[in-house]
Amino acid sequence: MPRAWKFGDDIDTDAIIPGRYLVMNDPEELAKHAFEGTRSQFAGQVEPGDVIVAGSNFGCGSSREHAPLALKGAGVKAVVSRSFARIFFRNSINVGLPLLVCDDVDMIRDGDRLSLDLDRGIIHNLDRLEDYNTTPLPPFLQEIVEAGGLIQYTKRQVGTA
Amino acid sequence: MTGQTLSEKIFSRAAKVEARAGQFVMADIDCAMIHDITGPLAVKGFYEISGDDGRVWDASKIVMLFDHQVPADSIKAAENHQMLRRFAGEQGLLNYDVSEGVCHQVMPEKGHVLPGQLVVGSDSHTCTYGALGAFSTGIGSTDMASVLATGRLWFMVPRTLRLIAEGKLPSLVTSKDLVLRMIGDVGADGATYMACEFAGPTVSAMNMAERMTMANMAIEMGGKAGLVEPDDVTLRYIEERAAGQEINPIKGDDDAPCTVRTWEVDDLEPQVALPHNVDRVEPVGRVAGTKIDQVFLGSCTNGRFEDIELACRLMGNEPVARGVRMIVIPASRTEYLKVLRAGLVERLMEAGALVESPCCGPCMGGSFGLLGPGEACLSTSNRNFVGRQGSSEASVYLCSPATAGASAISGVITDPRDIQGR
C-alpha cells in the first residue's frame, strides 16, 4: 500500500538530487541517488505509488529538472506540499509528475497509508480515516497536464503530434 | 486604469497584450541560454518535439556555453559536452564552449542581454540579468526544449515586490551583505512567484557588478526575477558591450501596484548566511571566530573583478592562513584578464591561493573543490544547502568578498572591518 514520505519546509533540489549526479539524464539512474545525503534510506525503500508530503516551498533552489525526474524514476505518484517553489512547479507539470497543493499536510504523518484521487484532487488517509482537499491547478496548466506534459502540448502547437 | 510595473510592461511587449499580474500569457523570447548541465535534457526534448531533422526557432537568439563541469571532469561530462557541440554545429548556434566562463557573467558581458528584453536560461540564477532592466528568469529543460522549438513560452505575469534601500553602505559593507539581509528578512519563500525589483538611492548608486550580485540572489527568496530599472549606469554598461544595438529601456509607472519593503543601510553590518539555509542570515559578529577549512571566492554572484579586487585589498600582503584552502575563480575570461592585468593573480598565488580558470567550480558541488565530512567553507556564492559543495556533513557559510578576504588570512570567520584597522 502506498505510503507517505514526510519532509519539512524548504526542501531544495540539491537535497532531492545532489549536483554530482547531474551528468546523468536517465530517471531510473537518478532515482538511485534521490535524497542521498539528506534521507539516505529513501532510494532503497521507496515503492512505486508512494507519495511525498512536505511543508512549504518544496523544490526551491536550482532549476535542475533532474529533481522531478529522479522522483518520477523512483515511482513517486505525486508530491503533496503546502506550497512549491516556482521552477520545480513548472518542471514537474512539464514532465508529468503530479503536484498537489494542500493546506492539511500537517495532518499526515510519515508512513501513513494514502490513496490519491488525482482527478478530484482528494487525498484519502487510510490510517487516520481522513480526507484532505487540494487546490486545483489553473485551467491553463490543466491543458498541459491533459496533453501529457509540455512536450506533447508543444507538439500539438507546432503540428508534429 | 492604474499604471504597470516594469515586469508587466515587458510582458505586455513580449506577449502583445496588456499584461497584468496574475494573468497567463504566451510570450516571445528575445534570447535563450543553455549550458552543459541542463542543456542535454533540453536538446533531447527539442528533438522529441521537432523530430530528428527539426530546426530551432531562431539560431541567432540562442547562446550555448559550458561552465558547470569545465574542463570536462568525467567521461560523462565530456559526452554531454560532445552532444551539445554537435547540436550547436548542426543548428548553427553560437557556442562559447569551455572558454568564456560562467553563463550569468558571459551573457551580459557579451551584449546578449538588453533592457526591456525577455530572456530565459535553463539555470535558476538567470535572474542575474535583471540588473540590466531585462526580465530574465530560470526555467527547466523541458521548458527550454519548447523555447528552442517555438521561441515562445507561457508565463504567469508576476506581482512585484519592490525592495527599496535607502542610505549609504558603510565601508566594507557590500551589495552582497545588503541582499543577504533582505533574504533573511523576506525569507526563502517570501517572494515566491514575484518579481523582485531592487530600487532606492542605495541601488541607484551601485555599479553594474554590485547590481548583478543583488539580482542574482532574487531566486534565494523565491523570486521569479530580480530587476533594477535601467538608468545611466545601465546604458553605459550596454554601450560598452552592445554598441549599435537598438535599446528600449522600459521603466515602470509610479502608480503601479506592488508590495513595498524598505531597508535603511547606513548602519548595516557585514552579513553571513549560516548553514544550511540562505535565509539564516546574521551579522558576521555572531559567527566571528568560527574555524574554516576552505574559502571560495568566485561564482556568478561574486566572481567579478570588483569582488576579487576587494578581497585582495583585505588580504594585503598576508598569506592564506595555515590549514585553509583558498580557491579563487574569476567568473569569466574577461574578468580573469582584468584580475590578471591588475597583478592580482600573482598576489593571490603568492599568498597561497589556487586561482582556477573561469567556471562554476565548487558552487555546483559536482566538479572540483568539494568538501569532506565535518569541513566548513566560507563562500561568496549563493547557496549553502546540505551537500551543496560536497559532503552532506559539511557546512557552507555565505558572505561578501570582503569577509572572504579577511577570513582567508585569519583562518576563522572574520569581520572585514576588524582587518582594515590593523
- What number is the ipTM of this complex? 0.94
Taking the C-alpha atoms of residue B301 and residue B307, their distance in angstroms, rounded to an integer, is 9
**The domain boundary residue, chosen from B262, B293, B325:** B262
Query: Contacts of residue A15 in chain B, CB cutoff 8 Å?
Result: 385-387
The string of pLDDT tens digits covering residues B235-268 is: 999 999 988 888 889 999 999 999 999 999 999 9
* pTM for this predicted structure: 0.96
- What percentage of chain B exceeds 90 in pLDDT? 96
Tell me the mean pLDDT in the region B157-168: 98
Structural domain count of chain B:
2
The burial class, CB within 10 Å (0-12 / 13-18 / 19+), for B2 is: exposed
Tell me the mean pLDDT in the region A50-54: 98
List Cβ neighbours of A128 (8 Å cut-off, separation of 6 or more). Answer: A107, A108, A112
Residue range of the domain that includes B359: 271-419
B328 with B221, same domain: the answer is no
Indicate yes or no: CB of B146 within 8 angstroms of CB of A150: yes
Angle at B242 between CA B239 and CA B246, to 5 degrees: 90
Query: Contacts of residue A21 in chain B, CB cutoff 8 Å?
Result: 366
B167 with B215, same domain: the answer is yes
Q: Is B382 on the interface with A (CB under 8 A)?
A: no
B162 with B82, same domain: the answer is yes
Q: Is B366 on the interface with A (CB under 8 A)?
A: yes
Going by their DSSP bridges, the two strands A122-125 and A114-117 should be labelled as: antiparallel
Indicate yes or no: CB of B146 within 8 angstroms of CB of A87: no
Model confidence at A108, in pLDDT bands (50, 70, 90)? very high
DSSP 3-state assignment of B68? Answer: coil
Q: Which A positions 32-51 lie with beta carbon below 8 A of chain B?
A: 36-38
Q: Which residue has the cell 503536484?
A: A99
In the predicted model, is pLDDT for residue A140 greater than 90? no
The closest alpha carbon to B97, from B322, B303, B291, B358, belongs to B358
CA pseudo-torsion sign A144, A150, A156, A158 = positive
Indicate yes or no: CB of B139 within 8 angstroms of CB of A90: yes
Q: Which B positions 27-86 lie with beta carbon below 8 A of chain A?
A: 37-38, 40-41, 44-45, 48-51, 54, 68-69, 74, 76-77, 80
**The domain boundary residue, chosen from B262, B294, B313:** B262
| Structural domain contains residue B54 | yes
Provide the mean pLDDT of chain B: 97
Q: Is B224 on the interface with A (CB under 8 A)?
A: yes
- What percentage of chain B exceeds 70 in pLDDT? 99
| Structural domain contains residue B247 | no
B130 with B26, same domain: the answer is yes
- Give yes or no for a contact between B257 and B21, defined as CB atoms under 8 angstroms apart: yes
Q: What is the DSSP letter of A138?
A: P
- Give yes or no for a contact between A118 and A78, defined as CB atoms under 8 angstroms apart: yes
Model confidence at B366, in pLDDT bands (50, 70, 90)? confident
Q: What is the per-residue pLDDT for A119? A: 87
Lowest mean pLDDT among A56-60, A105-109, A144-148, B254-258: A144-148
Tell me the mean pLDDT in the region B94-115: 97
| Structural domain contains residue B12 | yes
B319 with B285, same domain: the answer is yes
CATH assignment of the domain containing B227: 3.30.499.10
Q: Which residue has the cell 524598505?
A: B262
List Cβ neighbours of B243 (8 Å cut-off, separation of 6 or more). Answer: none
| Structural domain contains residue B248 | no
Tell me the mean pLDDT in the region B306-323: 97
B65 with B95, same domain: the answer is yes
Distance from A121 to chain B by nearest Cα, in Å? 22
